Amino acid sequence: MWSSPMSRVAYQLCLNLCFFKVQSSVSLEMGKIYVEGVGEVQEYVDVCDYAVGLSRMIGGPVLPSERSGHALIEQWNPVGLVGIITAFNFPVAVYGWNSAIAMICGNACLWIIAKVLEDNKIPGAVCSLVCGGADIGTAMARDGRMDLLSFTGSTEVGKQVALMVQERFGRSLLELGGNNAIIVFEDADLNLVIPSTLFAAVGTAGQRCTTARRLFLHESIHDEVVEKLVKAYAQVRIGDPWDSDTLYGPLHTKEAVKMFLDAVEQAKQQGGSVVYGGKVINRPGNYVEPTIVIGLAHNAPIVHTETFAPILYALKFKEEEEVFAWNNEVKQGLSSSIFTRDLGRIFRWLGPKGSDCGIVNVNIPTSGAEIGGAFGGEKHTGGGRESGSDSWKLYMKRSTCTINYSKDLPLAQGIKFQ
C-alpha cells in the first residue's frame, strides 16, 4: 500500500490540475463552461481526499476456520497495471476516479502525472500517457499485460472493448451510456423540479452520461411543468465557455450537431412536437439550441435512443406502476430520479419493483453524483462501478488464505484420508 506517498501525491496533483486543467484544457478541448470545469477539478480534489483516507482502511476479513489450529483470511493485492480509457466529456474527473483509487491499491496506471510522482520519489512511469484514437484503445484492450481495463464511453464501443478483453480472459470495468429519466408526480415540489430538470438536461450541453433525456410528468401537471420549463430554457445564458456568466456552451464536434438535428427530425416524424429549440445557433462553434419535445409515446424509437445532445422528451403518465416500468424499459440503467412527497412511493422506488438503475435519486436531478458513492449502472451501462463505496475491490485481486499453525493436519469437511 502507498498510504503516505499517496497523501502527498494527491494534494500536489490537485494543485497542479487546478492551475493547468481548468484554465486551459477543459474548455478548449471540449467546450465545457468555466464553472463546470472548476467543479470537475474539485471532483478530482475530493476523490484524492477520499482515496487518502481509504488507503488506511483497505483490508480483508478474518474468517472462522472449520479446522482447529487454522486461520482463514482474505488478502487483497494490486492487480498490476490499470489501463484507463476516458471520455471527452469529463477529461479530469473520470481519470481522477480511476487513478486515485488504483494507485492507493498499489497499481500502476496508463496515463500521466509523472512530475508529481517523481517529486515524491515514486517513478514517473507509474502513471504513463499514451495519446491516440481507436487504434490505441484496441491495442490496450487486446494486450495481456493490461491487468484491468477501465473504459468510459459509449455502449457501442464499450461492447467491443468488453469482447476484446474477455477474449483474453482479462478484467474490464465499464461505465457506458445512460438514457436517464426524471419522474415527476402530482405531489412534487415544482420549485425543486424546474431547476433540477434544467440542470440535468442542459448541463454540459446535454453531454453527460447522466443527462436527463426522458421527463415523465403526471398528466395532471404536464402542461404546467412544460410551460415553466420553456420559460426557464429561455433564460439560459449561451456563450463562450470561458465567460463566467455562461451556463451553456457548444457541442463537442460537428458530428454531434448532425446527430442532434437527426434526432430532432426523427422525433417529429414519430409524432413529437418541438416546444422549445430544435435548431442550430448561428454563431461560430458547434452551438445548438437546448430542446424540449412533447407528444411522443414512451416507447417511440427515438425516446429509446441515447443522443448525446441537449434534447429532452417530456412524456405523460397516469399511474406509478406504469411509469416505473417505463423508466426500466430502456436498455441502459445508469441514473434515475423521482420527485414526490409520498414516503411509501419513495421506498417502492428504491426497492426491487422500483428503478433498475445503478443511481437512484429522490427529489434531486439525475446528474451530480458524489464521489463517496459507487458510480456506474446496470444493463447496457456495463455494470462497472468507479469512485466510492467498495469500488476499490475492482482494482485488486483477492486471495483466500488458510494458515495451519498447529502440528496436526485436519482436512476440510471432516474428510479422513489415511
pLDDT 10s per residue in the chain (418 long)? 444 455 455 545 554 554 444 445 677 777 889 888 888 888 888 998 899 899 999 989 999 999 999 999 999 999 999 999 888 888 888 888 998 999 899 998 886 566 667 777 777 777 777 777 888 889 999 999 999 999 999 999 999 999 999 999 999 999 999 999 999 999 999 999 999 999 999 999 999 999 999 999 999 999 999 999 999 999 999 999 988 899 999 999 999 999 999 999 999 999 999 999 999 999 999 999 999 999 999 999 999 999 999 999 999 999 999 999 999 999 999 999 999 999 999 999 999 999 999 999 999 999 988 889 999 999 999 999 988 899 999 999 999 999 999 999 988 888 887 7
State the pLDDT at residue 91.
Answer: 81
Of 152, 77, 142, 144, nearest to 111 by C-alpha is 152
Residue type, 150: S
State the pLDDT at residue 4.
Answer: 45
Half-sphere exposure of 211 (CA within 13 A, CB side): 23
Of 128, 32, 17, nearest to 82 by C-alpha is 128
Q: How many helices (H) and strands (E) does the chain have?
A: 12, 18
pTM equals 0.90
State the pLDDT at residue 116.
Answer: 67
CATH value of 180-362 in 3.40.190.10, 3.40.309.10, 3.30.70.3040, 3.40.640.10: 3.40.309.10
Question: What 8-state DSSP symbol labels residue 363?
Answer: S
State the pLDDT at residue 132.
Answer: 77
- Rounded to whole angstroms, the Cα distance separating 373 from 368 reads 11
- Inter-axis angle of helices 134-142 and 155-167, to 10 degrees? 30
Other C-beta atoms lying within 10 Å of the C-beta of residue 219:
11
State the pLDDT at residue 80.
Answer: 95
DSSP, collapsed to helix, strand or coil, labels residue 325 as: helix
Tell me which residues are annotated as active site. Answer: 175
State the pLDDT at residue 286.
Answer: 96
- Rounded to whole angstroms, the Cα distance separating 245 from 243 reads 5
Per the DSSP assignment, residues forming a β-bridge with 332 are 379
Write the CB contacts of 70 (distance below 8 Å, at least 6 apart in sequence). Answer: 402, 403, 404, 405, 406, 410
DSSP, collapsed to helix, strand or coil, labels residue 361 as: strand
Write the CB contacts of 372 (distance below 8 Å, at least 6 apart in sequence). Answer: 50, 387, 388, 389
- Rounded to whole angstroms, the Cα distance separating 136 from 89 reads 19
State the pLDDT at residue 112.
Answer: 56
- Residue range 3-176+382-402, CATH number: 3.40.605.10
Half-sphere exposure of 154 (CA within 13 A, CB side): 10
**Domain residue ranges of the chain, discontinuous segments joined by +:** 3-176+382-402, 180-362
- Rounded to whole angstroms, the Cα distance separating 18 from 24 reads 10
- Rounded to whole angstroms, the Cα distance separating 349 from 264 reads 31
